[in-house]
Amino acid sequence: MECSYTPRELRWAIRRGDWRGPTAGCCPGHTQANLVIVPARYAFHFLLFCQRNPKPCPVLEVLEEGKWEPRRTAPGADIRTDLPKYRIFRDGKVEEAQGITEIWRDDLVTFLIGCSFTFEAALIKAGIPVRHVEEGKNVPMYITNISCEPAGPFRGPLVVTMRPIPGNMVSKAILVTSRFPAVHGAPIHVGDPLALGIEDLNKPDFGDPVTVREEEVPVFWACGVTPQMALLASGVDLAVTHAPGHMFVTDLLDEDLAYF
C-alpha cells in the first residue's frame, strides 16, 4: 500500500477516483490527519472537548462554517473529495462513501486532528521498534477506565494505543514523542495495563494484538479514536469522519509539527 505520490498528487488521484485504498505508508514525512465534521451548532463544544483533552484530540486545523479548503495544512485541497473513504453518521445510521460533496451543507465545520503516524515515523527514525508495523498489523487500541473531560454533549473514555518498547529505549521513546504534542505527544502511561483498566493486552478493543517480548514494557499513547467515540456518543444528528485508515494527507512535514 506504499505510494510515491506527493501529497498533492495523492489527493488528486483520490479526487479522480484513481486511489481508493488506505493511506498508511503514503507520502512518508508528510503529516496525515483524522477528520471530524459536525454542524456549526456543535462546533464550540467539540472544539472545547478538544481543548480540554489535548492529548487524544490535538487539533491541527479547523475549517469554519461551510469552508472546504484546508488552507493552513493543504492549500488547494477539498475536504469533501480528497480522502479515499468517509463515514457518514446520520439519524443513528452509518454509511461509507467515496466523497461527501452531495451531502455538503453551508453549516458544516471541519476539524483535522493529529494522528499517530507522525510520531511513529519519529520513533522508527530514532531506531525504536514499532511492533505493529514490524508485524504488518493495525496498532492495538484499548478503551481505558479514564474519563475525558466532557464538553457539552461530548463525553467518553480515553482510548489509547499500545506499543511494546524495550526497557532501555523507553526514555528515548518518551523524549522523541514529546517533541510532537500536535500528534498525541508523550505517552500517558508506562507499564501496568491494569492501572488503565486494561485486563488483557491480547484483547484490544480495536486493531490487532501484537507480540510483547520479555524485555519490553507496554507503553500507552492517547489515541485519535477518543474524539470519534465522544462524537458517536453525543447524539449529534449528522457527523462525517474518515473511514479507519483512510486519512487526509496534508502538505505539512512531520518536522513542521516539532515543538522543539
Return the bridge partners of 222, or none: 160
Q: Which of 3, 13, 24, 48 binds its own copies (CB under 8 A)?
A: 48
CA dihedral 68, 72, 77, 83 (to 10 degrees): -80
Contact 209, 155 (CB under 8 A): no
Considering the complex, state which of residue 179 and residue 242 has its C-beta at the smaller distance from its own copies.
179
Q: Which of 152, 167, 191, 197 binds its own copies (CB under 8 A)?
A: 152
Q: Considering only 45-53, 127-135, 137-145, 153-161, which stretch makes contact with its own copies by CB under 8 A?
A: 45-53
Q: Considering only 125-133, 144-152, 161-169, 239-247, which stretch makes contact with its own copies by CB under 8 A?
A: 144-152
Contact 114, 31 (CB under 8 A): yes
Residue 181 is a binding residue for its own copies (CB under 8 A) = yes
CB of 172 to its own copies, least distance (A): 14
* Paired sense of beta strands 189-190 and 216-222, if any: antiparallel
- The HSE-up count of residue 175 (CA atoms within 13 Å, CB side) is 7
Would you tell me how many other CB atoms lie within 10 Å of the CB of residue 94? 11
Q: Which of 6, 51, 202, 211 binds its own copies (CB under 8 A)?
A: 51
CB of 47 to its own copies, least distance (A): 5
CB of 155 to its own copies, least distance (A): 13
What is the C-alpha to C-alpha distance for residues 76 and 15, in angstroms, rounded to an integer? 12
Q: Which of 26, 33, 37, 62 binds its own copies (CB under 8 A)?
A: 62
